[in-house]
Structure 1
Amino acid sequence: MTEVKQASGRPRDAEAASAIRAATLKLINEHGYGNVSIAAIAAEANVARQTLYNRWNTKADLVLDALFETAGEQAAAPVHDPDKTCREQLAIFLRRVFSHLTANGGPIRALIASAQEDLAFRDVFKARFVKPREVMVTDLLRDAQHRGELDPNRDPEMLSRFVHGAFWYALLTGDPVDDDLVRGIVDGIFYP
């Protein structure tokens, strides 16, 4: 008779992971990245600390994962809609991004600050969070050029950097990321 060994430990629980991500964003929003410990996150999520360490190597990994989850929902790539101008699509995209930044600006600001102190973390933050969003806007602006809505001599990659620079600056200085900023950015890219 062959003995069947059971795997040790509990299976990963998607519900626990979701609770941990929610607790992470809540605490970072309330107290700032540097003032939140893994122990506090575990307590808020009502899980053992080891549950966090089984899924994430560091607090930064956990915070990034929580932000990516909400960014994927609220700041997904713009849908290339042939019935809307690229100007309209950019405005819609920016409103969704700004909604995300309004809800999660605290953790994002804290992560930007942490990225200045930890070069390895900065590389991960840039590769996994910043660059993919720049590519989304660059692709939309290239589409605008193909559709004749944007001067073909303008550089979509540089324009994307301008777009992101404008709202990162507003986020870091505490200025509102709102419809006025959306209009200013879109007008600056497409000229009214």
Structure 2
Amino acid sequence: MGEQKRMGGRPRDAEAAGAIKAATLKLLRENGYGAVSIAAIAAEAGVARQTLYNRWNAKADLVLDALYEETGRYAAAPLTECGLSFAAQLEAFLVQVFDHLTEGGGPVRSLIAAAQEDPAFRKVFKERFVRPREQMITDILARARQCGELAADRDIGMLSAFVHGAFWYALLNDDPMDAAFAHAITTEVFRKNG
């Protein structure tokens, strides 16, 4: 009997977690990180505040989980495809990232702003959101160099920083991020000398 109760609770837990993450993203889009509270998220999701605290230690953890899950649907780590150049892989990955940021860039901008004001949040944001995405691009570039598509003397870390700098700058300035922008970045990264 007790086992049945536990098993019966699992779908509700998953459903509650989904509702909480959806509410979090909705409120982030509408109000920005600083104006969103745990109480507001709980009310929007139709759950008790304790339900949130049972799963997440702090608002930052919840926000980053929700954003990470959503971003993963749009810009998961690129797979190495046979016959597809690393330049094409990078460009396709950037198009996915830009599609997501164009559609849902507001929450990310509010998180960047919050990270400038709150050192503890900045640390978590860098570890859980920024660094994993940097690593995805760094991995593509490292494989490209290994396979001779990038010259052996190219600084992969710096190239990755250039890529991220270009699109963070565009995001913060609300500049267009589209396939043409992805192509321009990729062309510069993979430009041959001479």
Shared fold per TM-score greater than 0.5: yes
> C-alpha displacement at 1:143, in angstroms?
1.1
Q: What do the CA deviations read for 1:111-164 (whole angstroms, capped 9, x no partner)?
A: 111111211211111111111111111111111112221111111111011001
Match of 1:77? 77
> C-alpha displacement at 1:80, in angstroms?
1.1
* In 2, Cα distance between equivalents of 1:40 and 1:156: 42
Q: What do the CA deviations read for 1:81-118 (whole angstroms, capped 9, x no partner)?
A: 12100011001111111122123211111111111121
Q: What do the CA deviations read for 1:33-70 (whole angstroms, capped 9, x no partner)?
A: 12222222112111112211211122211111101111
Question: Quick one: which amino acid aligns to residue 31 of structure 1?
Answer: N
Check the 8 A contact 1:24/1:66 in 2, yes or no.
yes
Q: Percent identity?
A: 62
Instruction: Indicate the RMSD between aligned Cα atoms, in angstroms.
Output: 1.8
Q: What does 1:1-192 align with in structure 2 at a 5 Å threshold?
A: 13-191=13-191
Q: Aligned to 1:127, what secondary structure does the other structure show?
A: helix
* In 2, Cα distance between equivalents of 1:94 and 1:38: 33
| Runs (5+) with no aligned partner, structure 2 | none
Question: Quick one: which amino acid aligns to residue 158 of structure 1?
Answer: M
* In 1, Cα distance between equivalents of 2:139 and 2:53: 37
* In 2, Cα distance between equivalents of 1:185 and 1:96: 14
Structure with the bigger percentage of helix: 2
TM-score scaled by length of structure 1: 0.90
Q: Aligned to 1:181, what secondary structure does the other structure show?
A: helix
Check the 8 A contact 1:25/1:104 in 2, yes or no.
no
Q: Aligned to 1:13, what secondary structure does the other structure show?
A: helix
Q: Aligned to 1:141, what secondary structure does the other structure show?
A: helix
> C-alpha displacement at 1:175, in angstroms?
0.8
Q: Which moved more, 1:33-42 or 1:149-158?
A: 33-42
* In 2, Cα distance between equivalents of 1:113 and 1:94: 22
Q: Aligned to 2:153, what secondary structure does the other structure show?
A: coil
Q: What do the CA deviations read for 1:163-189 (whole angstroms, capped 9, x no partner)?
A: 011101111111122112101111110
Q: Which moved more, 1:114-123 or 1:162-171?
A: 114-123
